Amino acid sequence: MTQQNQQKLAENLSQILNRIEASTRLQQRASKPRLLAVSKKHPVEKIKIVQALGQKEFGESYVQEAVEKMNQLTDWDIVWHFIGPIQSNKTKTIAENFAWVQSVDRMKILVRLNKQRPESMPELNVLLQYKVGGESSKSGANQTEIKEMIEAAESMSQLKIRGLMSIPPPSDEFDQQCAYFSEVQAFYQLLKNTYPQLDTLSMGMSGDLEAAIKSGSTMVRIGTDIFGPRT
Ligand SMILES: *Cc1c(COP(=O)(O)O)cnc(C)c1O
């Protein structure tokens, strides 16, 4: 990693932190959303630089790639989040290696993660992925399915349901972005009436974090605007 690349990463991170700060103030929100740095498709060297700048939570989307990186970063203080699509043959590796899973979209996966989370580890933090924007959105569960999963998880001792994650269909229009995020927020608030322990609403990426913060996001997931374009 050249000096120039290091400097670029530092600049990018501080710009993102400034955007989060500015939006939080503009929306007069009491607290800032957490930042998840999405490092998929970027090398371990970049993760080290960003971690050394104070960022501790990182998100990965591909199980194999993530585990290889973790093995090179065992001594580093990092909280790992899995945010990619989950195939059932990968749940064991996820359950044994991550602190958080944000992309749980069906009961079968939830049940497997609970069975496979080792007793010796703390509970696995889970976000259920909510499908917003109808047919144009590829993955996620609908409201009925999400309610069924939260209900079932009440008796799953190895999991802790923390809230929702959502990826709306891409849009460049601020108002359209807000419309999607408000729908997610409304559903999250509805769930909180029954499950007041929920504390995490993960929404907002590089292109729409301001709209997400306006709609109550408590965690934004930023890849490109920190690490640059993925190859
Ligand atoms: C890749 C990814 C991100 C980061 O997206 P950027 O547009 O690069 O900021 C966020 N969330 C999920 C679920 C992702 O897969």
At 95-140, the pLDDT tens digits run 999 999 999 999 999 999 999 999 999 999 999 999 998 766 678 9
Select from 63, 100, 221 the residue to mutate for testing ligand 1; criterion: most ligand atoms less than 8 Å from CB: 221
Please determine, for residue 28, whether its predicted confidence score (pLDDT) is greater than 70.
Answer: yes
DSSP string, 92-105: HHHHHH-SEEEEE-
Rounded to the nearest angstrom, the distance between the alpha carbon of 221 and the centre of ligand 1 is 6
Averaged over 36-42, what is the pLDDT?
Answer: 98
**Residue 95 in tokens:** 């359950």
Ligand 1 lining (C-beta closer than 6 Å): 38, 40, 61, 83, 167, 205-207, 221-225
Angle between helices 143-153 and 107-116 (to 10 degrees): 20
Q: What is the pLDDT of residues 114-123, one digit of tens each?
A: 999 999 999 9
Question: What is the Cα Rg of the chain in Å?
Answer: 17
List the one residue out of 79, 77, 32, 34 whose CA is nearest residue 58: 79
- Percent of the chain's residues with pLDDT above 90: 94
Q: How far apart are the first and last CA of the chain?
A: 17
**Counting atoms of ligand 1 from 1, which one is nearest the CA of 226?**
9
Select from 38, 172, 184 the residue to mutate for testing ligand 1; criterion: most ligand atoms less than 8 Å from CB: 38
DSSP string, 142-205: -HHHHHHHHHHHTT-TTEEEEEEE--PPP-S-HHHHHHHHHHHHHHHHHHHHH-TT--EEE---
Q: What is the pLDDT of residues 49-64, one digit of tens each?
A: 999 999 999 999 999 9
| Residue 184 near residue 203 (C-beta atoms within 8 A) | yes
Q: Count CB-CB contacts under 10 A for residue 17.
A: 16
